[in-house]
Amino acid sequence: MSRRLEIRVRGTLPADAAEQLGLSASVQPADTVLRGRIVDRPALHGVLDRLRANGIEVIEVRRLPDHVRSGP
């Protein structure tokens, strides 16, 4: 079962880096936030390994809610 995750990294990534990882990216002051679905733990470790292999500092990884509730 896939999980929605957010990975925060230090600095700004090249425009196509998130796409190559199958994630979306948004730039916040001094950091880039990657978001998307990761199918399992080995896939997550693969993404993290690719980031680190390219000298990208991973600051935080967190799980996001699977759905957003609207109104009462």
Give pLDDT tens digits along the chain (72 positions). 688 999 999 999 887 889 999 999 999 888 999 999 999 999 999 999 999 999 999 999 999 987 655 555
Beta bridge partners of 40: none
Q: Is 48 helix (H, G, I), strand (E, B) or coil?
A: helix
Count of structural domains within the chain? 1
Task: Write down the pLDDT at residue 15.
Answer: 74
The predicted pLDDT at position 68 comes to: 57
46 is a domain residue: yes
What is the reported pLDDT for 2?
83
**Is 7 inside a domain boundary?**
yes
Sequence letter at residue 17 = A
18: domain CATH number? 3.30.70.600
pTM for the model stands at 0.84
Q: Residue 49: helix, strand or coil by DSSP? A: helix
Q: List the structure tokens of 66.
A: 């699977």
**Letter for the amino acid at 9?**
V
Task: Give me the domain span that covers residue 50.
Answer: 3-63
